[in-house]
Structure 1
Amino acid sequence: MVTRRQFGLGALAMGVLGTAQTGMVHTGTARASAGHDYTARETFDLFERAFHESGAVGQPTDNNEHGGLAWGQSYVLAGFIRMYEAYRDTHYLDRLVTNIDLVLGNRDSERDVADYRGESLPAWRAMHPYTVGIAELKDSTGRPVLEVRSSLSYADLTTATVRAGSTGDRFTLEVRNSRNDAVATFTDLSMDPGSPDYAVRKILDAYPTPTQVTARDLHEEGTAPPVQGATRLVSQPVIFAVHTGMITYPIASFARIVMRTPKLHADPRYRAKAAEYLEAAKAAAAVHDREWRQGDDGGGHLAWVKGTPLAYDGTEMPTNQFLALGLTYAEIAAATGDPAYADRARRMARTFARELRTDADDAYTWSYWPSFGATYRGFAAADGISEFTPSGRGAKQIEDLSHGAIDAEFAALAFRHGLGFKGADMARFARTYSKNMATTDPDGVPTTFLRVDGTGGLASAGQYLQAPRWMAVAQWDRVVFDHSRSIYEARALEPSQGSHIAGVAYLNWQARRQE
């Protein structure tokens, strides 16, 4: 296996590439004939058409209940942006108009659906598999008495089952998730707040259990137990800042391109669409104003409001999740010059910059959760930080390749728009990929390590096929482009999801920038 430090001097640098399917080695035109040219617009156009004809998850007509727009169509939209920037062909702007109009038609406010607070907002809610599942258990009169919650992923595959206790006023509660057969059982509970076996307190004291259960008393004056039987938990609708950012980033990019390109801005259709999309991006971003946090140190980030039905409510969002919305802030600032959006983007850039550490190869590394946050540090139930995750032991894992691509994209965009970072920073981000993550597997096939510091072992396909999304920093190190392209070529990849479509667009974009 070629190490991450040896890759740039290894097989790829000599123009040799092994294929994952056959182990054969192809060079020059032989390599191209073995698969697709991932830097050709014809390849992108072919794959983009095939994706939309396939009906695969992530179509512009999808809603975002299960993240299909955020982690599918958003990448296709970003791909169209990169293809326009690569070729300056308005065909890609027209494709954007078609798809963005459909995506905007699936906002909650257009579909007349609401989030967990009952508010129908101009953004896109999500539920399964991301949010807390809740079940209301009722007594023999039909009155709700106990709310059972699970913050485990795929919580709506969880069932709360009530069985008889040792006496008529006692009960046993089993909470089981069918996806992984995780189960938590609480025996001989009471609904009497004065009892040492009071259900809410006993469940809290047992946290964390395999199904991450918490509970809330819905009738504190009563002591009647819930009736026996099984009740399915229901995932609650939440609008995630990371989803809003991923979806609105290319929408705001369209507005920025049109508003800053005189020829496009002179076209009434593009001008009208740019104005419409700009307002849509602003409205969606504003949904998260209540999550914005800033300090006297010049930094800024997003945190989940306590009581939001998701794991780690009340804590700071992961770096990639708040920077995703930062991409939209930066594009709105570039499109309009609005100092409020510029200030938020700059503050996020400062916060992210403080998280970065330089390793022995002068490459950046950083953690998935911000190191100043409660989730990273850990917290106790007595701290009262989180409703659905009462305590945390500290989550200090290093950022991974795929989520790190969002972070690097934000840093590069902030640099391009004069909102933060310098050229030396871009070079360090590029080395994060070329020195820490780029490698080959034992058969010599190009792949990556999982995490931005080169740890975590060889990445799965869900990670290494995201490599081209690091193109935002590729101009500072040619290996980023060459290695990312080689990953697709070695597998003769035929994209089946939106992020792969974006990957081909990014390779086209960078190839044109290198000409």
Structure 2
Amino acid sequence: MKLSSKSLKWAAIALAACLALGPATGAAASSNAWYDTYLSAESSLGSSYYTSDDGGTLAWGESYVSESYLDLYGLTKDTSWLDKFVLHTDTMIANADDNDNDGYLGWSSYRYTPVEVNNWDFETASSSDSTLPANWVRFQSTSSTARRTTEHVGGSYGVEVRTESTGTKWQSLYQQLNDYEPDTLYVLQFYGKTNGSAAKGHAYLRDKTTNTVMCSVPFENTSWEYKTAECRTPAASGHVLEVWLGHQTYTVPGGSAFYDNVKVNAKLPFMVHDGVIGTPIARFIKLVRDNAALHTAYLSKANGYLDFLEHNIVPRWENSSYIGNTWSSINSTTGMYKQSAKFDAFSHGSTWTYLPYNQALAYANMLILLYESNGNATYLDRAKRTGQYFKNALTLSGSAYKWNYAYYASTPEDASHANVDLGFVLDMYRNGQLFTGTDMDRFMNTLMSVMWNGSTTAPTLTHYVNGTGATDFSKYMSQWTELAQFSMSLYPVAAEQYRGFTPNNTAYLLTLSRIMKWDRSKIVNQSFEMTTSTDTTQPAQWNRFGSTAATAYLDSANAYEGKNGLTIKAAGGTDQQVNQTWTHWLPSTSYTMSFVGKTDGSGAGGKVYVKDETAGTILASLSFNDTSWTPKTMTFTSPSSTSHVVRTYITNDNPAVTNGTAHIDTIKMKVSTDAW
């Protein structure tokens, strides 16, 4: 059953009342510069977007914040990050709209729809009168009372509408709208100011056919301010709609109202926005449902979010009376989402059918994550067939993939939008769907062999995935950084761009959380959720040492949390081990390692130890024989010289026991005095 907008709003208000969310636990300065930079940037950026009701703002502003909160929880296990996620998500859902009256809640935006006003910036003059902006009509006004002016916000011109000296009649400019969708919410937006006169300013939309004002914006401010008003178009087509610029009264002589960037746009739903907003929500649902320890505090929330996505966001794109069915089944293995045939969301007269890759893949990314929670075969089918459509568009150049922005575009995909593409690809691979380890290596090669300038001290990326263009998108690496799963050498490409850099937008904030995730001054892939590209039984960034896929492997049947744990099986002699090299640690510093472990009780047991390979000494070692999951902790001091090679090992305590097993999950390393 669909949740009502009213009930969702009250849920958010109740949550805000019971949560007093200050900075996350452990917000004091730490030994980890990435963490401290994140805390500082999040404090200034984290609350900037989630209260908006605009789908574009939520997608390209808030979604990165929400996703980063999940990263921070994964790194720190500090549930205050999940509390922030819940507050933000409840607020977004409470602000979801049903502007199109199709019965489904979702998000809409006017930022990308066609502008129905010509010469909205007044930059072009009439061919017969340089004082009159082209496409605009004077009403009872002259070149002295309605004219172009160099008072402006953007470009070089705005317009001034001045009351006449006698104050006997209205002085106005107007223009008929190009087109409109019937029974649709439109937004009148502009910048306006006055000269302080009591005449003030007034902009409005008028239905000429019925001689009614649809919406209006009175204003009297004396410096430029951004103004908006929403109004609904007539249910029938064929009406003449006009935008008017003038005053609140004509009886005050010498009153000036100034206007610039006057636009009228439909407020419409966009699949890409629903997908980008919905993906972190779907990820939260999976996180909570996979971790029993989170059920008491968050399972009810997760189930409510699942209900919202299943009964509102997903069906609106196939069953909505307003949007129509946007799914296209091309053949048994391939499909794609289309733009709605019922309205022009992007431009009038466009001839393309299927959405650009990133827009469909963002939505499919949400579907594959939801499939993991609800097992809905249709969601899996849509994700796989959309993914196959995209995969068919990839071109192999050497050992790297290249692709264009859309099926109809000759322009290569850019580094920024590619993050959306890669987010889908990574989640499909991590779920064993469609994309192989070979595919992942090829995407990684796109970055490392084609886009990267080769520098480890001043790395940059090209604008496009084919290695061309400027470096203006170089720092947009949130999903590119996740390819560090397949190559240790990728991490510096992201990290060195952010060293000493303060993120000033939320996309950068998410990239920073991903840099933290792959920072080997900690332990990476600490929950063993991710695999190498060559062996799906081997945890990424962990090396087998004297072991095989039969004796050291990812084990979904023995996971403390998430999908996998790590199992080490004794082979009756030689140690079966995995290890990870530890780098960028502080010398002569107290560190604490923690993990959760259990064994089969055979006597093989388990052991975790830290070894200074250069000195040939064991810095710390902890054996365990518990037969149920038990937290373990050990503290040690790092070597005095950072030139030493140090590794963490996981093995059996008694390797002589044949087939005895030890299971490890959630292994972490931190400076002892740090919060995480």
Question: What TM-score, normalized to structure 1?
Answer: 0.65
- Secondary structure of the 2:346 match is coil
Tell me how far apart the structure 2 counterparts of residues 338 and 121 of structure 1 sit (CA, whole Å). 20
Confirm whether residue 90 of structure 1 aligns to residue 88 of structure 2.
no
User: Do the aligned partners of 2:37 and 2:502 also contact (CA within 8 Å) in 1?
Assistant: no
Report the alpha carbon displacement of residue 271 of structure 1 after superposing the two structures with TM. 0.9
Confirm whether residue 339 of structure 1 aligns to residue 377 of structure 2.
yes
Aligned to 1:480: 490
Q: CA 1:229–1:444 in 2, change beyond 3 Å: closer, same or farther?
A: same
Q: Deviation string for 1:366-406 (max 9, x for gaps)?
A: 00012xxxxx1xxxxxxxxxxxxxxxxxx310001111111
Q: Which has the higher contact order (CA 8 A, sep 6+)?
A: 1
Identity %: 25
Aligned to 2:17: none
Confirm whether residue 305 of structure 1 aligns to residue 295 of structure 2.
no
Report the alpha carbon displacement of residue 46 of structure 1 after superposing the two structures with TM. 3.0
Confirm whether residue 45 of structure 1 aligns to residue 27 of structure 2.
no
Aligned to 2:313: 284
Tell me how far apart the structure 2 counterparts of residues 226 and 91 of structure 1 sit (CA, whole Å). 50
- Secondary structure of the 2:108 match is coil
Question: What TM-score, normalized to structure 2?
Answer: 0.50
Q: CA 1:160–1:259 in 2, change beyond 3 Å: closer, same or farther?
A: farther
Tell me how far apart the structure 1 counterparts of residues 424 and 362 of structure 2 sit (CA, whole Å). 7
Aligned to 1:459: 471
Aligned to 1:170: none
Q: Deviation string for 1:154-195 (max 9, x for gaps)?
A: xxxx9842489xxxxxxxxxxxx996689xxxxxxxxxxxxx
User: Do the aligned partners of 2:484 and 2:490 also contact (CA within 8 Å) in 1?
Assistant: yes
Aligned to 1:132: 114
Tell me how far apart the structure 2 counterparts of residues 246 and 346 of structure 1 sit (CA, whole Å). 18
AA aligned opposite 1:502 = L
AA aligned opposite 1:51 = L
User: Do the aligned partners of 1:124 and 1:243 also contact (CA within 8 Å) in 2?
Assistant: yes
Report the alpha carbon displacement of residue 103 of structure 1 after superposing the two structures with TM. 1.5
Report the alpha carbon displacement of residue 497 of structure 1 after superposing the two structures with TM. 1.6
Tell me how far apart the structure 1 counterparts of residues 432 and 243 of structure 2 sit (CA, whole Å). 62
For the aligned residues, what is the CA RMSD?
3.6
Mapping of residues 266-281 of structure 1, within 5 Å: 267=296, 269-281=297-309
AA aligned opposite 1:246 = V
Aligned residue pair count:
372
Report the alpha carbon displacement of residue 313 of structure 1 after superposing the two structures with TM. 7.1
AA aligned opposite 2:386 = M
User: Do the aligned partners of 1:80 and 1:93 also contact (CA within 8 Å) in 2?
Assistant: yes
The answer to which structure has the higher strand fraction is 2
Q: Deviation string for 1:96-153 (max 9, x for gaps)?
A: 11211111122114xxxx1xx555741111112x111225xxxxxxxxxxxx899xxx
Aligned to 1:190: none
- Secondary structure of the 1:234 match is strand
Confirm whether residue 406 of structure 1 aligns to residue 420 of structure 2.
yes
User: Do the aligned partners of 1:440 and 1:446 also contact (CA within 8 Å) in 2?
Assistant: yes
- Secondary structure of the 1:278 match is helix
Mapping of residues 21-60 of structure 1, within 5 Å: 40-52=34-46, 56=48, 58=49, 60=50
Q: CA 1:159–1:420 in 2, change beyond 3 Å: closer, same or farther?
A: farther
Report the alpha carbon displacement of residue 89 of structure 1 after superposing the two structures with TM. 3.1
User: Do the aligned partners of 1:245 and 1:285 also contact (CA within 8 Å) in 2?
Assistant: no
Tell me how far apart the structure 2 counterparts of residues 285 and 61 of structure 1 sit (CA, whole Å). 22
- Secondary structure of the 2:410 match is coil
Confirm whether residue 76 of structure 1 aligns to residue 65 of structure 2.
yes
Confirm whether residue 500 of structure 1 aligns to residue 508 of structure 2.
yes
Tell me how far apart the structure 2 counterparts of residues 482 and 493 of structure 1 sit (CA, whole Å). 14
User: Do the aligned partners of 1:161 and 1:229 also contact (CA within 8 Å) in 2?
Assistant: no
Tell me how far apart the structure 2 counterparts of residues 42 and 226 of structure 1 sit (CA, whole Å). 53
Tell me how far apart the structure 2 counterparts of residues 486 and 237 of structure 1 sit (CA, whole Å). 41
User: Do the aligned partners of 1:305 and 1:313 also contact (CA within 8 Å) in 2?
Assistant: no
- Secondary structure of the 1:487 match is helix
User: Do the aligned partners of 2:30 and 2:36 also contact (CA within 8 Å) in 1?
Assistant: no
Aligned to 1:253: 283
Q: CA 1:465–1:242 in 2, change beyond 3 Å: closer, same or farther?
A: same
User: Do the aligned partners of 2:119 and 2:134 also contact (CA within 8 Å) in 1?
Assistant: no
Q: Deviation string for 1:287-309 (max 9, x for gaps)?
A: 22221112214112211123323
Tell me how far apart the structure 2 counterparts of residues 313 and 120 of structure 1 sit (CA, whole Å). 29
User: Do the aligned partners of 2:282 and 2:306 also contact (CA within 8 Å) in 1?
Assistant: yes
AA aligned opposite 2:40 = L
AA aligned opposite 1:308 = D
Aligned to 1:365: 402
- Secondary structure of the 2:460 match is strand
Report the alpha carbon displacement of residue 351 of structure 1 after superposing the two structures with TM. 1.1
Aligned to 2:269: 239
AA aligned opposite 1:493 = F
Q: CA 1:444–1:510 in 2, change beyond 3 Å: closer, same or farther?
A: closer
Report the alpha carbon displacement of residue 319 of structure 1 after superposing the two structures with TM. 0.3
Q: Deviation string for 1:46-95 (max 9, x for gaps)?
A: 3212323xx64x2x112216x21110110001111222233333232222
AA aligned opposite 2:76 = Y
Aligned to 1:63: 53
Where structure 1 has 5 or more consecutive residues not aligned to the other structure, the ranges are 1-34, 136-147, 151-157, 165-176, 183-199, 201-217, 371-375, 377-394
Candidates 426, 438, 453, aligned match of 2:440:
426
Q: Deviation string for 1:213-255 (max 9, x for gaps)?
A: xxxxx99xxx9x9999879541111111111111110001000
Report the alpha carbon displacement of residue 40 of structure 1 after superposing the two structures with TM. 4.0
Tell me how far apart the structure 1 counterparts of residues 400 and 243 of structure 2 sit (CA, whole Å). 58
User: Do the aligned partners of 2:457 and 2:496 also contact (CA within 8 Å) in 1?
Assistant: no
Q: CA 1:81–1:302 in 2, change beyond 3 Å: closer, same or farther?
A: same
Where structure 2 has 5 or more consecutive residues not aligned to the other structure, the ranges are 1-28, 121-132, 140-151, 158-177, 179-208, 211-237, 247-261, 319-324, 526-540, 542-579, 581-676
Confirm whether residue 449 of structure 1 aligns to residue 462 of structure 2.
yes
Tell me how far apart the structure 1 counterparts of residues 379 and 332 of structure 2 sit (CA, whole Å). 18
AA aligned opposite 1:449 = T
Report the alpha carbon displacement of residue 447 of structure 1 after superposing the two structures with TM. 1.5
AA aligned opposite 1:302 = Y
AA aligned opposite 1:497 = N
Q: CA 1:118–1:161 in 2, change beyond 3 Å: closer, same or farther?
A: farther
User: Do the aligned partners of 1:469 and 1:502 also contact (CA within 8 Å) in 2?
Assistant: no
Instruction: Please say which of residues 339-348 and 465-474 is displaced more in the overlay.
Output: 465-474
Tell me how far apart the structure 2 counterparts of residues 264 and 118 of structure 1 sit (CA, whole Å). 36
Report the alpha carbon displacement of residue 468 of structure 1 after superposing the two structures with TM. 3.7
Q: CA 1:346–1:446 in 2, change beyond 3 Å: closer, same or farther?
A: same
Q: CA 1:405–1:506 in 2, change beyond 3 Å: closer, same or farther?
A: same
Tell me how far apart the structure 2 counterparts of residues 132 and 125 of structure 1 sit (CA, whole Å). 14
Tell me how far apart the structure 2 counterparts of residues 127 and 76 of structure 1 sit (CA, whole Å). 22
Q: Structure 1 runs of 4+ off > 6 angstroms? A: 35-39, 225-231
- Secondary structure of the 1:68 match is helix
- Secondary structure of the 1:301 match is strand
Report the alpha carbon displacement of residue 437 of structure 1 after superposing the two structures with TM. 1.2
User: Do the aligned partners of 1:160 and 1:230 also contact (CA within 8 Å) in 2?
Assistant: no
Tell me how far apart the structure 2 counterparts of residues 228 and 251 of structure 1 sit (CA, whole Å). 39
Q: CA 1:108–1:432 in 2, change beyond 3 Å: closer, same or farther?
A: same
Aligned to 1:191: none
